[in-house]
DNA sequence: CTAGAATTGTTTGCATCCAAACGATATGCT
DNA sequence: AGCATATCGTTTGGATGCAAACAATTCTAG
């Protein structure tokens, strides 16, 4: 039986939060913030793993590679520096991801016309075709994991997360 | 100027979601689910990076190593298989993380008394002291990044995330 | 009892992931 | 013009991270 951290049972999670207070002497713990933030990480971990196994697994694409290709598919050709920011990874990591995607013929690197420091990255036709097939499956899975939330709850969830995002950026 | 995916500006994010519909022919996209789920990943990424730079960076502890040590600190000695589940990583990854933590004297491996297949992992006194110093800083940062949400909103955020967690587990 | 099946932690191979150093290029200040 | 500074993508080194193979141990069916 679980000790509670990984469980989604409310009572066990609540017990976990009380255990933290006990360990810290019962005071000075923002339990609500702890619950909100730790659940963000828990869900992100689990959802990422779920997507990699269900939708991305058969096509042998990592979550990060999918995100990178998705950005190129939606907004077209990007400078590497921008692409790294949009995909939420560092430029060093992007180099490896783009190399992996290029090896599979899903993206291509192109030189910038005027600034030789820059590298432009673009999805190939094959990359676009793959995304056109893959994204509906991905989105259907997004709908599936949120199906127990009402539309208003999903909206509120997205809004609260956007607020947290803004707060982190201002810190 | 950003194309919008990494931005927390509502209007740009909204534009991103409309671009997806355009790319897909304008139908069959669950935009609300897309917004909710993609924001979970965005916030988790950004928050993790934020914690690693502010709280965990000076002590040279990765987010995963911190989580692992935190579980041991709150609930005590754990079998490796449980610890991996609680920390949200595979057992193979745990082997490396425990080795790293053990090298720094924060945890120890102990044999199980009756089942020789099992390995017990326990935080050392040094590990416990470190967590007692570190967790308040960590929790303060959790409070900081959620400070613009009301208590009710934080509660609702945690509740919705728990619902998503349960849904994924039932899929 | 005992051979096959199941379980556990480790190892291996490969792909991220970040920080920092690096070479190439571009900019800015004088 | 010219030299310090800044910016960009890549490389390097170390730590995750997963899947799959593995050896050791335990369980189980007959």
pLDDT for B42: 93
Who touches strand D, with Cβ under 7 Å? A 49, 52-53, 79-81, 84, 91-92, 94-96, 98, 109, 117-119; B 62-65, 88-93, 96-97, 100, 114-117
Nucleotides of chain C in contact with protein CB (under 7 A) are 7-13, 15-21, 23-27
Q: Is B42 in CB contact (< 8 Å) with chain A?
A: yes
Q: pTM, whole model, 2 decimals?
A: 0.87
CB contact under 8 A, A46 and B161: no
Which residue, among A26, A4, A1, has the nearest Cα to B75 in the 3D structure?
A4
Q: Is A11 in CB contact (< 8 Å) with chain B?
A: no
In chain A, which ranges are E strands? 78-79, 107-111, 119-123
Closest residue (CA) to C1' of nucleotide D11 is: A92
CB contact under 8 A, A43 and B143: no
Render pLDDT for B113-171 as a digit per residue (tens, 0 to 9).
999 999 999 999 999 999 999 999 999 999 999 999 999 999 999 999 999 999 998 88
How far apart are the C-alpha atoms of B122 and B160, rounded to whole Å? Answer: 33
Q: Is A73 in CB contact (< 8 Å) with chain B?
A: yes
pLDDT at B3 > cutoff 80: no
Render pLDDT for B41-90 as a digit per residue (tens, 0 to 9).
999 999 999 999 999 988 989 999 999 999 999 999 999 999 999 999 99
pLDDT for A46: 93
Dihedral over alpha carbons A84, A85, A86, A88 (to 10 degrees): 80
Render pLDDT for B22-39 as a digit per residue (tens, 0 to 9).
777 666 889 999 999 999
pLDDT for A57: 87
How far apart are the C-alpha atoms of A114 and B89, rounded to whole Å? Answer: 45
Residues of chain B positioned with their CB less than 8 A from the CB of A37: 47, 142, 145-146
Render pLDDT for B13-23 as a digit per residue (tens, 0 to 9).
556 767 777 77
Task: Tell me how far apart the terminal alpha carbons of chain A are, to the nearest angstrom.
Answer: 39
pLDDT for A13: 56
Across chain A, which has 171 residues, the per-10-residue mean pLDDT values are: 43 64 76 93 94 91 94 93 94 95 94 93 94 92 95 95 93 83
pLDDT for A163: 94
Residues of chain A positioned with their CB less than 8 A from the CB of B45: 44, 88
CA of A52 to C1' of C12 (A): 21
pLDDT for A15: 67
């Amino acid at each position: 039986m679980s000790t509670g951290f990984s469980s989604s049972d409310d009572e066990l999670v609540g017990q976990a939060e009380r255990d933290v207070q006990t360990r810290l002497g019962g005071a000075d713990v923002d339990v609500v913030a702890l619950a909100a933030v730790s659940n963000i990480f828990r869900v992100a971990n689990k959802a990422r793993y779920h997507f990699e196994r269900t939708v991305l697994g058969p096509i042998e694409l990592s979550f990060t590679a999918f995100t990178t290709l998705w950005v190129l598919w939606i907004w077209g050709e990007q400078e590497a520096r921008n692409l790294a920011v949009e995909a939420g990874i560092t430029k060093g990591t992007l180099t490896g991801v783009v190399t992996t995607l290029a090896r599979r013929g899903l993206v291509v690197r192109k030189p910038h016309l005027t600034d030789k420091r820059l590298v432009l990255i673009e999805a190939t036709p094959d990359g676009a075709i793959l995304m056109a097939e893959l994204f509906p499956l991905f989105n259907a899975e997004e709908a599936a994991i949120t199906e127990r939330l009402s539309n208003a709850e999903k909206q509120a969830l997205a809004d609260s997360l956007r607020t947290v995002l803004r707060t982190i950026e201002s810190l």
